[in-house]
Amino acid sequence: MGSSYRGILRSNSTRLSIIHRLLDPALAAGLLPVLALSYGESLDTPYVLLAAITFLLVLPVFKATGLYRSYRGENLTAELPQILLAWGVVFTILLFLGYLTKSSELFSRSILLSWAVSVPVVLYAAHLVVRIFQRQLRASGRNTRRAVIAGVSDVGCRLAEEIACDPYLGIQLEGFFDNRSPVNLQDLQGKSLLGTLDDLIDYVRQHRTDVVYIALAREREETLSTLIGGLEDTTACVYFVPDFMMFNLMQARTQEVNGIPLLAVWEIPFSDLQSLLKRTIDIVLASLILIGLSPVMIPIAIGVKLSSPGPILFKQRRYGLNGREIMVYKFRSMKVMEDGDVVLQAKRNDTRVTKFGAFLRRTSLDELPQFINVLQGRMSIVGPRPHAVAHNEQYRKLISGYMLRHKVKPGITGWAQVNGFRGETDTLDKMKKRVEYDLEYLKHWSIGLDLKIIFRTALVFFQNHNAF
């Protein structure tokens, strides 16, 4: 649930959603020993082993069967069929394993039958409590997302009506955008006309609008294309409602608001559970690397201090998640500390780079302090490389979809870097290619892809010749 929440706004409801997913395997596995004890059975090895296998199976099977999709806007019984299906798959796998290992005779039939029936009941009750609590949070004004609708059409007005009638959705609709004058428009459902479609992009930027619903007629292709192009330069989640043309979608997901279908054009590519798993990997690996390489980082710090006057760490403002500024750390490799409106990229034989700094840049050792950024939660180990603020402002005007790379945390390494696009981007074509790889990463993200990038980064750590 809640896969469309913005990662920067980790609400109580989102954390609750993560916790209750982690409780699913605990509840399913924990019920078995409880029932065994209630039937007077001793907790010997077969029951403990069955509970452990169940714990390992539940989460991946439940996810694979689609239980953890978003139910925002659906009735409270929507999860029940999915829970029955998911648990049915798990129990079938367990029965098959019992048949293969000839171990089914080790268990009481009454206990297994009671367990098979009680698990979906308990899980549904737990999910129901969570969903009711989430709804109450939204109704009280917490965990809300600010939204606008582009187009005062029939479907747009119906969407506005559904949002207004259901506070449990947690959507605060601010108004409409349309090129027609108010006198020529139908009922705005009590919401104001905020401006024309030309005003929409600036409004979304200035007000940090969370969601844009596009409810324009399909035949307005030129207007749609212009609008989509402009919204690429924002960090808002964008949905068509529901008549759409196929654009280049990023981790496209379907959702609905009280029966009205929505298609995500750009969304955060992680579900809550995937985000938690990615964050866990970041913390574990960053901690191990900082501890393991501390004997190396200490002499590097001394070398930086002795190589030229100035601080050991270079700090620079860059764009992080959802385009918000973060401070990124590196070992200083230059004689200057540029972080203004104009930042010159390092070039081959750059006189600003110290001799010791050239070694650090060539071996990527200057990047090691960014693992501190990872522990702070500002960066991830894998993600689009962050650029200086000055470079972002330059390239967002030149490259379509440039700002979409900020839908996730920036990374120490990324898909572009392991494909050869690291270091200086002295031409616009090189930067376009880097952005293409970044967007491809967002479209096809998985934990497996992250691990592949980490592995390839480790292989080429001392072999990169594009950094200087």
Return d(Cα 189, Cα 271) in angstroms, integer: 32
Q: Does residue 313 contact residue 329 with C-beta atoms inside 8 Å?
A: yes
> At residue 10, does pLDDT exceed 50?
no
Nearest to 388 by CA among 278, 459, 334, 314: 314
pTM, rounded to two decimals:
0.54
Return d(Cα 239, Cα 261) in angstroms, integer: 10
Return d(Cα 252, Cα 266) in angstroms, integer: 7
pLDDT digits (tens, 9 = 90+) for 69-122: 666 556 667 788 888 888 988 998 898 888 888 887 888 889 999 999 999 999
Q: How confident is the prediction for the chain on average, in pLDDT?
A: 80
The dihedrals phi and psi of 268, each to the nearest 5 degrees, come to: -60, 125
Read off the tokens for 409.
């945390």
Higher pLDDT residue, 184 or 197? 197
330 bridge partner residues: 314
**C-alpha distances in Å from residue 443, one per residue of 2, 375, 387:** 19, 25, 20
Q: Which helix (H) or strand (E) holds 98?
A: helix 79-101
DSSP string, 301-357: HHHHHHHSSS-SEEEEEEE-GGG-EEEEEEE--BS----SS--PPP-TT-TTB-HHH
380: confidence class by pLDDT, cuts 50, 70, 90: very high
CA angle 380, 383, 385 (to 5 degrees): 100
Return d(Cα 136, Cα 143) in angstroms, integer: 10
327 bridge partner residues: 317
Domains, the chain, ranges and CATH? Answer: 12-139 (no CATH), 145-266 (3.40.50.720), 272-459 (no CATH)
Task: State the average pLDDT over residues 32-49.
Answer: 87
Place of tokens 């559904």: 162
pLDDT digits (tens, 9 = 90+) for 259-279: 666 766 777 777 666 787 788
Higher pLDDT residue, 31 or 75? 31
Checking phi first, is residue 195 left (phi over 0); if not, alpha (psi -120 to 50) or beta? Answer: left
pLDDT digits (tens, 9 = 90+) for 86-100: 898 899 889 888 888
